[in-house]
Each structure stands twice: as structure tokens, then as C-alpha cells.
A and B are shown apart, each in its own frame.
Chain A
Amino acid sequence: MSVTATGVIKTFGDYTALSNVSLEAREGEFLALLGPSGSGKTTLLRILAGLEFPDAGQILIGGEDMAGRPARDRRVGFVFQQYALFRHMTVADNIGFGLTVRPRGSRPATREIARRVAELLELVQLPDLGRRYPAQLSGGQRQRVALARALAVEPRILLLDEPFGALDAKVRKDLRRWLREVHDRTGLTSIFVTHDQDEALDLADRVVVMDHGCIEQIDTPEALWDRPASAFVCDFLGGANRVAAIASDGIIDVGGIRLPNHAPALQDGPVTGFIRPHEFSLAAPGSPGIPVTIRRCLRTGAQAALETETHDGAIIEVTLSEPPAGLVPGLTQVLVPTAIRAYPV
């Protein structure tokens, strides 16, 4: 089922959490809301779920206007950051809760609920844990129970708030793949909130990058990576080195090297360029490019990671896939950028 938000505004007192946000998640899509804390991503998710109500704007789920519809009538599956499991209930009771509280007319029979629960336990790969209590589960297991509980009510869409936020790195990676599989199997339109760009790029069909209550860019992971729409997006995706450059006629000049711009067109004059670590090659001192001194060199297998320093003290990180021999700290070299994304200063 598709989800559409149009012109959503939400303020808390003087604080603007969302200023005029619009987006669409298509049928069956897996969408990531990515941004730093305070960017409004969680507020947007909660508005979609009906846990908050927007000051202005419209929410459509499956084409239906959600205005004034409380959370319990939206049939939205919501997985909370800390899972919010009912700790006095067994895992099975947790999962069956949404079915148990249905009005008498539409409530499945007890046996039917038990069957659904068993099915969902199977789906989240915890078939034998139905009688345990949440306190007896590991973090990853609780996460799966929370998901099963959300799925039990046969939601029209699935919303997940920082689904991996409370887990350690190893479990996080495993669950990521698994969640994607579950999504592909159920075909539910899913939206999840994260502040981890790897997670968003790795998992989502499309990523919505947010900052200060505004959407900076909505794109596929590839497009986002290749053509960040703003300096914020480029910076937030991480790893890029910031350099000063000059733009003229759409060509960017860095230390005498002239490159086409990989970002939206911009006016002539000084600009901020972003160059990723692998987008450099080395040249001998005196060549055009950015003269630097090598501070540190770390070789891992065939690769080398260099930490270099420019004349004015800025640090530039470089990754070389075929490093020459003799890269030692103190050596002076010139960095030749091979690609650049430039934005207004």
C-alpha cells in the first residue's frame, strides 16, 4: 500500500520539527528516513503512525486520508526503538496482543490466534520461544518479537523506528539482511528511520535524507551516492574530504586540476568541493594538484590508507588501491583528484 505525505508541518512550542515535508513511498517499497538526530525523521514516522498529529499537511495511506484517524484505527505496524514489549506477557501473548484486543465481532478464535502466533514465530525464526518472557530474550530476539507483534495485526504498512539502534554491531549486520528478506517475503510497504548511512544505503530501495525538519534529497542509494543533492547530503553520507575550489562554466578547479562537477550546477566563484578518499591519485611534487605531506600510512592487503596534511593544516584522507612503494610519513606528494562534487560555500 502506498504512503503519501504532503506539506506536513509539525512544531513543538517554538521548535519546528518538520517544515513542509512531502514524500511518497510506493507500493511494496522499502524506504529509509536518514538524518542526524533532530532532523525530524522520527517525528515524521510517528505522524505516519498516528502517534502524533501534524499541524498542517495531509497523510494518505493507500489513498485514504488519515486526518483525525487515531493510531489504533490505522492498521499500521510500528516497531519501537526500544521494542516496547509488554514485559509481563509471554512472547506469544505479546505477538497475539493485537488480535486479542480486537472487538468481539472481528476477533479470531483463541485457537486461530495461537496458530497465527506460531506462524509468526516461525517467520521471525524464534519457533520455540513463545512461552518465554521478554526479559529472558537477547536484544536481537526482542527485536524479532517486536516485528512479529507488529506483523500480527496484518498491517497495511510497516514503520520501524531505528530498528537496529539498540543492538551491537555484529547482531545489527545479521538482522539487517534478515529484515530485508522479511520485507521481500511480505511485500509490505516499509519505512524505517535510521541515523546510520550504511544501514540506509545497504537496505533501502530509496533513501530520504532529512535535516532540520526538511527533506534534502530522496533517491535510490546509487543515485544518492553518485549525485548528492547538497553539501549536507554529501557530508552526511560520510568519508568525503572537504576542499576549497573555484567554479567557472561548470568546471571545478582544484589546485590547477580541472574536473567536471558531479553535483547540481552552480554559479561561478569559490565553492566547497567534496572528494572521496578513493578519488585521488598521486603525482610527484611540483605537478598540478594538492601538495600534501604524508602523516600516516596504513597498508591493508593491496590497499593503502593515507592520512595527509595540506600546507594550511587541513587533513585529507586518501585510499589507494595500487599504492606505490616507499610511502612513508614525512614524504611530500601531490594529490590529483579524479572526481569532485562541488556546492556553494
Chain B
Amino acid sequence: MASVALPMVASAPDSRQALGMRLGILQRQRSIIPGFGVTMGITVFALSVIVLIPLSAVFITSAGLGWDGFAATAFSRRALAAYRLSFGAAAAAAAINAVFGLITAWVLVRYDFTGKRLVSALVDLPFALPTAVAGIALTALYAPNGWIGRWLAPLGIDIGFTPRGVVVALIFVGLPFVVRTVEPVLADLGADVEEAAATLGASRLQTFVHVILPAISPALLTGCALAFARAVGEYGSVIFIAGNMPFRSEIAPLLIVVQLEQYNTGGATAIAATMLVISFVLLFGINLLQGWQRRLRTT
């Protein structure tokens, strides 16, 4: 969801907190509100059992493979091709979403037109529509005999069952991230800055390029990064439309499934570990981006 990395506002530190900190690692401040032990216990227990311990299995199992065993699958030619497709298509989709997502956010924030609420609600469709449903729907559109595909095929343009199909699916998945991240920033942008540019003689285009775009670019970048991160791991909406040809249109998550189906759990784990590491690096990058964005917005 777009909320992936919204900044969590930690409560302002006070002197009692400082006291609490001295009391130990997870020691709360003395508070009359009850329930810290229970709620923290549930949280840590659930987090450990459901998320952390299973995730650690990926790295522990990978470590057991030895470097050669790990590299044999994780860096095989087929896996490298899959990473290239997953990351390349995700980047292409993010770039396309950057342009059209920005236009969409702009139109939703700045202009009035009938049906605007409906359109705004529709933007969230990819958050609500199951990925498998999106996958077969897109395939119905872009397969060579599909709604759109049949008009493109005679022109020599194939989308379904090619890497282009992967991009189309990832555009679908990532669009709301860009729109929903840019929208509030665009809405918060003071009209006076744009008016100032106008009184200084800037044209509307110059105002957009020199004043508006720099102000919203951190949000735009964040939205793209979120869309990209989601797209890299995406599975359901892609596998129907991709054609899944090894070396050509096989995404990395699918390769994990293929390894599993061949009972090569180790190979699946090696690829998963590689993807996790990349995802965590991405997550870290997104956090940095958002820190930057927060700093820019607090003048």
C-alpha cells in the first residue's frame, strides 16, 4: 500500500521518556496507562512467529547452501535474466507511472470536472483488485487475439506474452503509489509561490519546471520507489500476461516458483535471498528519500 513508508511520527520526547530510557532497553516510561506488557508481548510474539523467524529461514537456509550452491542458482544465467527483467520492467513501469501518475495527480488536485470523485476512487483499483484477476484481465486485453492485442498484432506490436506485457502489468500495479504520494504534496503547495513566479515574469511552463517540479520531486521519487519496490516482487498480475519464457519473459518471483515445483528448495531460497537483500536496500533508500522529503517540507 501507499502507506508502506509514511513517516511515523514518534511522540515528542519529554523528560519522562529520558527517565524511561535509562531504565533499560525496552523499558517504558512510568505511565498510568496500562497494557504495555500485554500489547508489546502480542506484537513482538506475532512479529517474530509470523514475520521474522520465517524470513530468517531464507537467510539461514541460504547460508547452508555454501557459496557455490548459492551462486549456482542465484547467479545462474537464467536467474540473471529474470532479475534483469524484473528490475528492468519495474523501472520502465515506474518511469511511465511517474509521467502519467503526475499528470493524474495534477488533474485530480487542480482541475474540476464531472466524475472526478469516481475517477479518484478508480485510481485505487489496483489496491483492491486481486492480482490474479488483474492478470487475466490484462491478458484478455493484450493477448494477440485480445481486445487491444488484435489491433496491435497486424502492426507488428506484441504486448501479451512478451516483456512488454510485464511492463503493462507493472504499470497497473504501481500507478496508485505514484498518484497517492504526489497528490497531498501537490495539494499542500502554496499558491503564493506560483504567484510569485508569475509576478517575476515566469511563464506557466517555467513556473512548473523551476518551481513546482522541484518542490514535488521528492514525493514523485518516493512514489516511484514505492511502485518500483512493489513491482519487483509482483507475481499474480504478471504471470498470466508474461508468457513466462525462460531468459525472455520470466520474472524472478516466477523463477522461485519454478524452482519449488522442481523440488529445488535450495535454489528457490537462493533467489529469494537475493531478492530480499535488494528489497531491503530499496526500503532503506525509500526511507532516506522520505527523510529528505520531510526536511524539504518543514521550512
Instruction: Write the residues of chain A forming the contact surface with B, with a CB cutoff of 8 angstroms.
Output: 49-51, 70-78, 80-82, 84-89, 97-98, 100-102, 134-135, 149-150, 152-153
Asked whether, in the complex, the Cβ of A72 is within 8 Å of the Cβ of B198, the reply is: yes
A73 to B201, CA, bound (A): 6
A102 to B197, CA, bound (A): 12
Q: Could you tell me the distance in whole angstroms from the C-beta of A168 to the nearest C-beta in chain B?
A: 18
Asked whether, in the complex, the Cβ of B201 is within 8 Å of the Cβ of A153, the reply is: yes
A5 to B64, CA, bound (A): 84
A49 to B195, CA, bound (A): 10
A80-B192 contact given A86-B211, A87-B215, A97-B197, CB 8 Å threshold: yes
Asked whether, in the complex, the Cβ of A88 is within 8 Å of the Cβ of B296, the reply is: yes
Binds A, one of B112-120, B157-165, B202-210, B276-284: B202-210
A97 to B299, CA, bound (A): 20
* Residue of chain B at shortest CB distance from A52: B195
6 A-B pairs with C-beta separation under 8 A:
A72-B198, A78-B195, A82-B190, A82-B192, A86-B197, A98-B201
Q: Which of B169-203 contact A (CB under 8 A)?
A: 190, 192-193, 195-203
Residues of A close to B197: CB separation below 8 A: 86, 97, 101
Report if B214 contacts A (CB, 8 A): yes
Asked whether, in the complex, the Cβ of B198 is within 8 Å of the Cβ of A51, the reply is: yes
A72-B199 contact given A80-B192, A82-B190, A86-B193, CB 8 Å threshold: yes
A78 to B296, CA, bound (A): 24
Q: Could you tell me the distance in whole angstroms from the C-beta of A88 to the nearest C-beta in chain B?
A: 4
* Residue of chain B at shortest CB distance from A155: B199
Interface size class of B (residues with CB under 8 A): 20 to 34
Instruction: Write the residues of chain B forming the contact surface with A, with a CB cutoff of 8 angstroms.
Output: 190, 192-193, 195-203, 206, 210-211, 214-215, 296, 298-299
Q: Could you tell me the distance in whole angstroms from the C-beta of A159 to the nearest C-beta in chain B?
A: 8
Residues of A close to B210: CB separation below 8 A: 86, 97, 100-101
A71-B195 contact given A88-B214, A97-B200, A102-B201, CB 8 Å threshold: yes
Asked whether, in the complex, the Cβ of A72 is within 8 Å of the Cβ of B202, the reply is: yes
Asked whether, in the complex, the Cβ of B202 is within 8 Å of the Cβ of A97, the reply is: yes
Q: Could you tell me the distance in whole angstroms from the C-beta of B177 to the nearest C-beta in chain A?
A: 23
Identify which of A86, A101, A102, A149 gathers the most chain B CB atoms within 10 Å of its CB: A101
A49 to B196, CA, bound (A): 10
A100 to B199, CA, bound (A): 13
A153 to B192, CA, bound (A): 18
A71 to B195, CA, bound (A): 8
Known: A78-B195, A98-B201, A98-B202. 19 other contacts (CB 8 A): A51-B195, A70-B198, A72-B198, A72-B201, A72-B203, A81-B192, A84-B190, A86-B197, A86-B211, A89-B214, A97-B210, A98-B200, A100-B210, A101-B203, A101-B210, A102-B201, A135-B298, A150-B199, A150-B200
A84-B200 contact given A97-B210, A134-B299, A135-B299, CB 8 Å threshold: no
Q: Could you tell me the distance in whole angstroms from the C-beta of B181 to the nearest C-beta in chain A?
A: 18
